[in-house]
Structure 1
């Protein structure tokens, strides 16, 4: 039986353990045809992806989740990486998540 991850989740980056004024909340959507099994962000000034913000969960096609980035940074601009259950990945660089308010993966 396939598990659908439809409920909103709050995921926290490994940078901070408490909420602060620099926290960024946005909506993550999956309009692709396969499960989103990993979601990574990094400051566009970084050369490394941070840990998987889905923390073992996934977002099924047609569903969305609330995401919290609590890294203590004052930036809105992040690089984004998604990995899918079929082994494919998608990356986008320099995304202003404050301006968008949401990010949606599509095929």
Structure 2
């Protein structure tokens, strides 16, 4: 009986560890396009990573004045991300980059000054 309890306890601990890894908290925020151009691509990468990860939008875009809920579900437990925003060519807006603590944000607005 003791051997069975030890095996069940070990299995429960292993299952608990796997569950906590697979349920890493996603970063969710609203991205608002407050420019006159169409936002075509949005890349993120944790601060310190030397390359951009895949386009968050996929086939989607954010038109001027629109917003989109963004979920970064990369399984990492970091908050500071580098971001790159690319607009359609006819928008005549140069690509923009920024770094923010996404855990502390409910929304991010791209503004043109």
**Which TM class, normalised by the smaller chain length?**
0.7 to 0.9
Higher strand share goes to which structure? 1
Higher helix share goes to which structure? 2
- Tell me whether 1:68 sits opposite 2:71 in the alignment: yes
In structure 2, distance between residues paired with 1:68 and 1:101: 11
Matched residue, 1:89: 95
Runs of 4+ residues deviating >4 angstroms: none
**Higher radius of gyration, 1 or 2:** 2
Structure 2 residue matching 1:34: 3-state secondary structure:
coil
CA deviation profile, 1:51-97 (whole Å, cap 9, x unmatched): 1110021000100000110101111110010000136200012x101
Q: TM-score, structure 1 length as denominator?
A: 0.77
Contact 1:22–1:71, Cα closer than 8 Å, also in 2: no
Give the count of matched residue pairs: 88
What's the offset of the Cα at 1:32? 0.7
- Where does the alignment leave 5 or more consecutive residues of structure 1 unmatched? 1-18
Q: CA RMSD in A?
A: 1.3
Contact 2:34–2:111, Cα closer than 8 Å, also in 1: yes
- Tell me whether 1:40 sits opposite 2:5 in the alignment: no
Contact 1:43–1:79, Cα closer than 8 Å, also in 2: yes
Contact 1:20–1:70, Cα closer than 8 Å, also in 2: no
Q: TM-score, structure 2 length as denominator?
A: 0.73
What's the offset of the Cα at 1:20? 2.4
